[in-house]
């Protein structure tokens, strides 16, 4: 499928072939900001005033070296997972759309023989999510798949299988809850696993820096930051495990909303067709990390439920 096939506008074109035509003739140039190295990858020799340079980043800045000073006043737009970006790049989104979705029956829920699953490959993180999961395991069964636990899914034992459809089908069939714990607590940051799980009849237990009122449908997730202690969280999960009616309320949203993939190419195309004022990021480091590094939370600023475990 062509990247712009389903777009509102039909006159957009994209290529990674820099020799196809003079680079200054393009309306916009996309730079993978976290790995772009002018010495290695080259730098455009000429630039039209109207040409837009776009900074692309989909990773949490806590894992990025803050060396963006050389790009001050270089980029015009940002394209990241943050909602204050010029173009928002999300791993999924939800739209309002009525459907004929039918809630799972009580019998179907009772056939789920396992309680909580977690797919994880990074076992030592700035969010300390591993401490939270370990504490939960003291009270409830939490099955950990991948590098951070003893379990595997899919035919292969390598970690790439953690994102396979078979793993999520297994999750849908066997489990009531999934730990959607981010490896860093950064503004608006959430990964694709959240949206993969939302498409299933499984309730995500979320821990991250995002505003889940913006990134997830109404009453679709359980946010650990709303609980004061692991014991309080465990008590609530146990209540839902015993009460099918209350548990099923977490799927009511599917009657009126739908999780869909984001068409990022179309988002760029649409943005280029809109009138936009001259803009430039004079201090990309401050925008990415915060003036005082506040975009991502350090240990002492993590939610109370996690700080108690450190």
206: in domain: yes
What does the DSSP 8-state code read for residue 243?
Answer: -
Q: Please state the separation of Cα 174 from the chain's center in Å.
A: 24
Are 176 and 243 in a shared domain?
A: yes
Q: Please tell me the least confidently modeled range out of 110-114, 125-129, 218-222, 297-301.
A: 297-301
- Looking at the chain, the whole-number percentage of residues with pLDDT higher than 90 is 75
pLDDT in tens, 232-290: 999 999 999 999 999 999 999 999 999 998 889 999 999 999 988 889 999 999 999 99
Confidence of residue 155 (pLDDT cuts 50, 70, 90): low
Give me the pLDDT at residue 160, please.
47
In terms of Cβ atoms closer than 10 Å to its own Cβ (0-12, 13-18, 19+), residue 3 is middle
Are 244 and 126 in a shared domain?
A: yes
For 229, the token pair is: 């202690």
- From residue 305, give the alpha-carbon distance in Å to each of 53, 95, 129: 41, 31, 11
Contact of 233 with 136, CB cutoff 8 Å: yes
Are 158 and 133 in a shared domain?
A: yes
Are 107 and 252 in a shared domain?
A: yes
- Looking at the chain, the whole-number percentage of residues with pLDDT higher than 70 is 96
Are 116 and 249 in a shared domain?
A: yes
Instruction: Give the residue from 220, 244, 260 where a domain finishes.
Output: 260
User: What is the residue range of 48's domain?
Assistant: 23-89+262-292
- Domains: count for the chain: 2
The whole-number average pLDDT for the span 126-133 is 96
Give the angle subtended at the CA of 221 by the CAs of 215 and 222, to the nearest 5°: 125
The whole-number average pLDDT for the span 78-85 is 96
Are 55 and 112 in a shared domain?
A: no
8: in domain: no
- From residue 118, give the alpha-carbon distance in Å to each of 132, 227, 294: 12, 19, 28
State how far the Cα of 236 lies from the Cα of 158, in Å rounded to an integer: 34
Are 77 and 127 in a shared domain?
A: no
17: in domain: no
13: in domain: no
38: in domain: yes
Return the exposure string of 228-250: e unless at least 16 CB atoms fall within 10 Å of the residue's CB, then b.
eebeebbeebeebbeebeebbeb
Are 73 and 173 in a shared domain?
A: no
Q: Which residues pair with 258 in a beta bridge?
A: 95
Region of 188 on the Ramachandran plot (φ > 0 left; ψ -120 to 50 alpha; else beta): left
Region of 149 on the Ramachandran plot (φ > 0 left; ψ -120 to 50 alpha; else beta): beta
Are 227 and 288 in a shared domain?
A: no
234: in domain: yes
Give me the pLDDT at residue 1, please.
53
Of 122, 117, 177, 180, the closest CA to residue 153 belongs to 117
For 59, the token pair is: 């990773």
In sequence order, the 6+-apart residues with CB closer than 8 A to the CB of 195 are 91, 92, 259
Helix (H) or strand (E) holding 210: none
303: in domain: no
15: in domain: no
pLDDT in tens, 90-100: 989 999 999 99
pLDDT over 80 at 124, yes or no: yes
Are 186 and 109 in a shared domain?
A: yes
CATH code for the domain of 123 = 3.40.50.11660
Are 137 and 176 in a shared domain?
A: yes
Q: Please tell me the least confidently modeled range out of 37-41, 110-114, 156-160, 263-267.
A: 156-160
Edge-to-edge order in the sheet of strand 114-119? 142-145, 114-119, 175-181, 203-207, 222-223
Are 111 and 36 in a shared domain?
A: no
The whole-number average pLDDT for the span 46-65 is 89
């Amino acid at each position: 499928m062509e990247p712009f096939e389903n777009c509102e506008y039909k006159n957009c074109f994209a290529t990674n072939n820099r020799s196809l035509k003079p680079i200054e003739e393009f309306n916009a140039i996309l730079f993978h900001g976290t790995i772009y190295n002018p010495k290695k990858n080259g730098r455009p020799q000429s630039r039209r005033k109207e040409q837009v340079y776009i900074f692309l980043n989909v990773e949490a800045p806590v894992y990025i070296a803050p060396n963006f000073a050389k790009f001050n006043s270089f980029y015009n737009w940002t394209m990241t997972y943050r909602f204050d970006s010029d173009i928002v790049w999300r791993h999924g989104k939800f739209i309002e759309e009525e459907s004929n979705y039918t809630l799972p029956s009580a019998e179907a829920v009772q056939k789920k023989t396992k309680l909580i699953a977690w797919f994880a490959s990074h076992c030592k993180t700035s969010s300390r999510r591993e401490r939270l999961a370990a504490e939960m395991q003291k009270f409830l069964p939490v099955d950990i798949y991948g590098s951070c636990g003893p379990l595997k899914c899919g035919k292969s034992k390598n970690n790439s299988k953690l994102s396979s459809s078979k793993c999520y089908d297994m999750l849908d069939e066997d489990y009531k809850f999934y730990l959607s714990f981010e490896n860093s607590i950064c503004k608006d940051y959430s990964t694709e696993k959240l949206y993969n799980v939302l498409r299933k009849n499984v309730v995500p237990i979320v821990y991250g820096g995002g505003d889940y009122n913006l990134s997830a449908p109404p009453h679709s997730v359980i946010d650990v930051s709303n609980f004061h202690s692991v014991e309080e969280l465990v008590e609530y999960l146990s209540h839902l495990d015993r009460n099918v009616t209350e548990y099923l309320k977490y799927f009511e949203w599917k009657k009126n909303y739908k999780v869909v993939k984001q068409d990022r190419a179309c988002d760029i195309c649409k943005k280029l067709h809109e009138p936009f004022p001259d803009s430039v990021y004079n201090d990309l480091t401050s925008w990415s990390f915060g003036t005082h590094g506040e975009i991502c939370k350090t240990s002492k600023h993590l939610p109370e439920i996690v700080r108690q475990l450190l």
